Structure 1
Amino acid sequence: MAPDTQIQVIEQMVDEMLSSEPEYFRINVRIKPTNNVKVFIDGDKGLAIDKCVQFNRKLYKLIEEAAMYPEGEFSLEVSSPGVGEPLKNHRQYAKNQGRQVEITFNDDSKKTGKLVQVAEEDILIEETTGKGKKAVTQQIVIPFSNIKTTTIQIQF
């Protein structure tokens, strides 16, 4: 089975597994040449470790039963996407409203601001430039079609 086909089969398994738990959603599936299957899942309220373990066990059984790796030679990692991972879908944007984001545009220019609102076709960020009394805050509407990547900025 070709790697792309394997990914599609596993994506279907994940979606089916999550269909009974609508607050969770699939972000991404990657398979390394060593048959290391990495599944990224997120939840509207985050993803607890015990949920990761539960999903991992269910998915492991499904992959085994499908005999995708006849020798049983595969490993499976289920996790939420790391902080540095770009947002992939609409639900992730919605979940992260109120947080600082860095947006890289299709032309590789960047803007940083607070994610204020998420609509069907675009997002609204609040960008503050300057400091102290000279600080200027403006709201900017950005169509999804102009966005290459969006990453959450951790603030200390």
Structure 2
Amino acid sequence: MSTTQSERLRELLEPLVGSQGLDLEEIAVDSVGRKRVLRVVVDSDTGADLDQIADVSRALSAKLDETDAMGEGEYTLEVGTPGAERLLTEHRHYVRATGRLARFQLTEGGELVARILGVDDEGVELEVPGVKGRKATARRLAFPEIARARVQVEFNRKDEKSEKKEEEA
């Protein structure tokens, strides 16, 4: 997809996504055989439910149908949310990942897996899990120290809602 088409699609679709209370995170056009697939990734601070995805999908489809932004050929529109192991590229992504475990690639080299405790304009406050029975330690990373960060899936961590329900029982 050319930069021009990407920018044009973003300019066209971003206001519609915003009007639905969501952020436009990503746009990608892929060729699948003779067809093209327009993938639109949306999110918000509270996540996006299926009804919101359906509403924004209908709005985007209608807007695309009334323009020539995708050209003359057939295409399929897919609207979804970021995956479970989302890449953290914007300040708002770090804020949304507060409380989650993330893998950080450091600009100085090396890697760190830690839980995001807080985020401000300069960086993130982290809790680095202890190894072999040691206590977790606090660490701060400034954004320039982070080359890349990605949320990690945790299968055995109880979320706060589950813990509160068990305490009440």
TM-score of the pair, normalised by structure 2: 0.81
Aligned-partner Cα distance in 1 for 2:127–2:61: 43
Partner of 2:3: 4
Partner of 1:31: 29
Q: Percent identity?
A: 22
Q: Aligned partner of 1:11: which letter?
A: R
RMSD of aligned Cα (Å) = 1.8
Unmatched 5+ stretches in structure 1: none
Cα deviation, 1:65-105, whole Å, max 9, x if unaligned, reads: 11123434111111001112312221121112111111112
Aligned-partner Cα distance in 2 for 1:51–1:18: 10
Does the aligned pair in 1 maintain the 2:20–2:52 contact within 8 Å?
no
Residues matched between the structures, number: 152
Residues 4-153 of structure 1 correspond to what in structure 2 (within 5 A)? 4-22=3-21, 24-33=22-31, 34-132=35-133, 135-153=134-152
Seen in structure 2, the aligned counterparts of structure 1 residues 112 and 74 have a Cα distance that, compared at 3 Å, is same
Does the aligned pair in 1 maintain the 2:17–2:23 contact within 8 Å?
yes
Task: Give the secondary structure class of the aligned counterpart of 1:129.
Answer: coil
Cα deviation, 1:91-131, whole Å, max 9, x if unaligned, reads: 12111211111111235521011101101121111102322
TM-score of the pair, normalised by structure 1: 0.87
Aligned-partner Cα distance in 2 for 1:19–1:99: 25
The alpha carbon displacement at 1:58 in A equals 0.8
The alpha carbon displacement at 1:41 in A equals 0.6
Task: Give the secondary structure class of the aligned counterpart of 1:82.
Answer: coil
Aligned-partner Cα distance in 1 for 2:44–2:91: 12
Does the aligned pair in 2 maintain the 1:13–1:59 contact within 8 Å?
no
Runs of 4+ with deviation above 3 angstroms: none
Unmatched 5+ stretches in structure 2: 157-169
